[in-house]
Structure formats: C-alpha cells, structure tokens
A and B are shown apart, each in its own frame.
Chain A
Amino acid sequence: MSGKPPVLQVTGLDAGYGDLQVLHDVNLEVYPGERVLIFGPNGAGKSTLMKAVSGLIHPWEGAVTFNGRAITGMPPEKIVSLGMSYVPQLDNVFANLTIAENLEIGGVLDRRRTAQRMQEMFELFPVLGERRKRMAHTLSGGERQMLAMARALMLKPALLLLDEPSAGLAPMLVADTFRRIVAINETGTAILMVEQNAKQALEIAHRGYVFETGRNRFEGTGAEILGNKELGKLYLGEEE
C-alpha cells in the first residue's frame, strides 16, 4: 500500500498457553488507514493472536512492531498508551461501572480530552449517551458491543483491534456494526478485526487473512478471498 510503513507488523510469531502452542510462525501487516479482516475456524488462534499483539499474553518467539517500534512482550497498559486499542471478544465492558465510567476508564491515559471524546462517542453511539448513568450490565448485547468499541476509541487510537464485534448480534445490527466500523476507520483509525460473519465483513475489508490451526493459510484482498473457490466452500458457506 503506497509504500508507507505498516502500523502493525507481526513476524514469525509463536504463542500459546502453558505448554500448549497455539500460534505457529504467524505473519501479518496492517497499513495506515486499512481495514483488515482475520477469519478462520473456531480454535484457529485468532483471539490468541489479538491477545499476543495487545500484550495480554507474552509471545514465545517472533516480533510485533507498532509504528516501527518493537512492542513484543510489553505490558498492555504500555501498548495502549502508544496508540493501539483492543476490544476483546468476551467480557469487553466493565459490567459494574456506568456507561460514562466505562468511557472514563477508556480515556484514563488522556484525561484532559476525556469530556470531549465522550461527547464524540455519544454522537457516534447516541444510545450510549441516553444511558450514560446506567450500569453496563443493564445494556443489551448490541449496546454492549457499542460501549466496548466506544471505550476503546476514547484515546483516538491509530489502530483498533476488534475481536468478533458482530458476534451474537441480530442480522440487522450486524450491518449496522460494520457501517460504524467503516465510519470509525474513515476518521483515520486502522482496523484489524476478527469476524465469523466473514462474507459480510469481507465486503468492507480492504484485505483479509485466513488462519487455520494457528498458521497463515491464505491472504489477499477482499475480492481475491471472495473469489477463491476452495475458501468459499470451506468458510463462506458457498455451494459449488
């Protein structure tokens, strides 16, 4: 992409839990302003990759660079301060904090801008503004996903990691979520997201990676992946 250096570069990454190796020599890049999709079967290691990139687990081998800076093995609170935010797949809001408090925590590293960013989040997600004083555990599934995203956007990250943002949402809300992701991306935040709704997600992704058993299986533009017969059969639910 136009010769610019990548925001995120993952090279030769191995990672896992205890004795269990999940990721094997994983490589991946995200360029500034891109929307990149990761998909693949359950258990392929997609969430593990997100955790290794965001600092929640320590990679065994390989390197992660963010804006040219090595962040391999840095603690998550340091990584977020450099401009990468992460929305986990599960438990991605503070259930016993109010909506407003969730956002305050999201903005904790730049408190002078918190009030202004919170207003911007309420414009992007009006329903959150209406419920700002409510505890997050009272929100519906869709509203929770919005809050999770808003929390991660408080610091205006250069890169946003989203782990299955449309999981469990009604079909109408899925399209809505993808529209918002495009809108967020158009404000200058690069997106790396994991999705099971791969077909829909590919329509908005510039590029995609297919993972299988913790390994790179395929990569290409949205059109290339959608046009790949074998992948279509395996992961996109296409008939011959």
Chain B
Amino acid sequence: MTEFLQTSIFALATAGVIAVSAVGLTLSYGVTRFINFAYGEFLTMGAFFTLILAGAGLPLVPAAIVAVLLVGLAGVLIARIFYDPLMSRGPFPLLITSVGVAFILQNLLRMFYGSDPKRFPVPLMRPWHIGNLFFPKAQVGILLVSLGTMLAVHLLLRRTMVGKMMRAASDNEMLARVSGVDTRRIINITWFISSLIAGLGGVLLAITQVAIQPAMGWSFLLVIFAATLLGGIGRPYGAMLGAIIIGVGMEFGTAYIAANYTYAFAFAILVVVLLFRPQGIMGGIT
C-alpha cells in the first residue's frame, strides 16, 4: 500500500510534466493544424537556457522564468522564418521542415553545450514526511506548477478574448477572419504561448531527470505525442487527461513491471487506447 501511494506521488508529478508539455503542443496544433516536430527541442531549450542563466548567477526560479520567456520568443521567430511561408502548402512540407528544424536546434544546442550530460541546478532539499510516505519538494513543486499551468490555460481559453479568438481561429479560420479576427496575429500569439509552455515543460522535465542532454526533448516527444493523441489532438482538456493516463501508466509500469522501459509504456498505452477509440478518449468534446 505504501509503495502504491509512494509511486502515485511520482506518477502525478510525471503526469504534470507531460500535461504541461502536451497542452502546449495541442494549442499550437489546434490553431495551425500542423504537428511541430521541433516541439521537443523547445523543451530542451527551456532546460538549457535555464542552465545557462543559472550558470551566470541567477537563482533557479528567475532563471527558469527568463528562459521560458526566451523560448516563447524563439518559438515565434522560428515559426515566422520556417513555418509561416509554408502554411498554405498543406501539411507535408511543414512536417518535413519541422523535423529539419528539430535537428538544427538539437545540433546547435550540442555545439554550444557539448554532448555530455549536465546536472540541472536543483538544490538538494529534504523531502516532507507524512507517515511512511515521503514527498520530495521538487515533485510537489512540479505538481503545483503543472496545476497552475493547467488553470492558467483554462482561464486563457475560456475567459480572455485572446483565448476565445484562438479557439475561434482553431474552429473555423475563414469565419474568424470575416468576423474581424486578425488570424495572423492570433497565430503569432499561439506560437508564443505554445513555445513558452514547451520551455516550462522542459524545465519541469529537467528537474525529474538525473542529467540533461541535447536530445532529451526529442526523446520525450514520443511521450508528449502519446498524451496529445490520446486526448484527441487539438483538444487541451483531452491532452490533460491523456497526460494523467500516460504519466500514471509510465510510473506504475516502471515500478511494477520493468524499470528500463519507461517511455515504451507510454507508447503501449497509446496503441491500446487508439485500437479501441481511434479518435482519442475525448472524442467529440473540445
């Protein structure tokens, strides 16, 4: 029982990392209708920028905030240079280009930072104990940041005009335009928010990992896709639910079945669910 509860604590933190990352991806897909394969590198950038800024003397939290904003800007820039010119050419050129962008970014990170793993500057903190259970502060922090992010995305989409315009553009771009929505501006804002959330996902991911490395985001992309597809791509609430299922599945699979195949569990769950519900678990709800 204790082991089960203990695993649950880690599972929820993992689910939080995935949820944050998946929501960012699904937002950009929802508005632009293309799957950005360089998204994983946006996570890596979040982790590396934080590392660089922390190395320059900033405390972890301010370093992470600045890093995440920088990733947001980088995302807008990358989209304008590489993706916008291809938007009218259908999904295939965009997909290939985004894979290319992924490799360029990954290699740039490798060039500037070397390929050997780096430790992420999380200070060692004593976990909280409640009975037999221990709550590592980093894990609790991840969970709180993830919940805060989900709430912020929810409020953005339901309560702000920008969020409503994002949903309108996602729903029916032509109708949004004839209603007076400047969809180009909305796409830029979406890239900013989506990339910023990716950067945050990268920081959270880095906290859970022993070391960070230039390919960390790329490998994690599979897990993000699994949660996103499971939730029905383009559906933020679905992505959150998908993330919980994948995160829990990964942690319990690792704890109870085989420790070396964490990411494979994500994929296995995806395959099983999609066999039964090809539209994802949230099919029909947006």
Chain B contact residues, majority secondary structure: helix
Q: Provide the bound-state CA to CA distance between A105 and B172, in Å.
A: 12
Q: Do A106 and B179 form a contact, CB below 8 Å, given A94-B168, A94-B172?
A: yes
Q: Do A56 and B174 form a contact, CB below 8 Å, given A96-B167, A105-B168, A108-B161?
A: yes
Q: Which of B236-280 contact A (CB under 8 A)?
A: none
Number of interface residues of A (CB under 8 A): 28
Number of interface residues of B (CB under 8 A): 19
- B171 in contact (CB, < 8 A): yes
Q: How many A-B contacts at CB < 8 Å in the complex? A: 69
A77 interface neighbour in B170, B180, B286, Cβ under 8 Å: B180
Interface string of B177-191 (1 = CB under 8 A from A): 111111100000000
Q: Provide the bound-state CA to CA distance between A96 and B237, in Å.
A: 13
Contact A104 B172 (CB under 8 A): no
Residue of B nearest to A75 (CB): B177
Q: Provide the bound-state CA to CA distance between A230 and B165, in Å.
A: 48
Q: Do A108 and B175 form a contact, CB below 8 Å, given A77-B182, A80-B180, A96-B286?
A: no
Q: Provide the bound-state CA to CA distance between A46 and B161, in Å.
A: 34
Q: How far is the CB of A156 from chain B (nearest CB, A)?
A: 13
Q: Report A-chain residues with C-beta under 8 Å of the C-beta of B176.
A: 94, 105
Q: Provide the bound-state CA to CA distance between A155 and B176, in Å.
A: 14
B172 interface neighbour in A54, A91, A111, Cβ under 8 Å: A91
A97 interface neighbour in B164, B177, B178, B182, Cβ under 8 Å: B164
Q: Provide the bound-state CA to CA distance between A109 and B165, in Å.
A: 12
Q: Provide the bound-state CA to CA distance between A6 and B193, in Å.
A: 45
Contact A109 B180 (CB under 8 A): yes
Residues in chain A within 8 A of chain B (CB atoms) = 54-56, 75-77, 80-81, 85-86, 88, 91-97, 101, 104-106, 108-109, 111, 151-152, 155
Q: How far is the CB of B29 from chain A (nearest CB, A)?
A: 15
Residue of B nearest to A91 (CB): B172
Q: Provide the bound-state CA to CA distance between A91 and B174, in Å.
A: 9
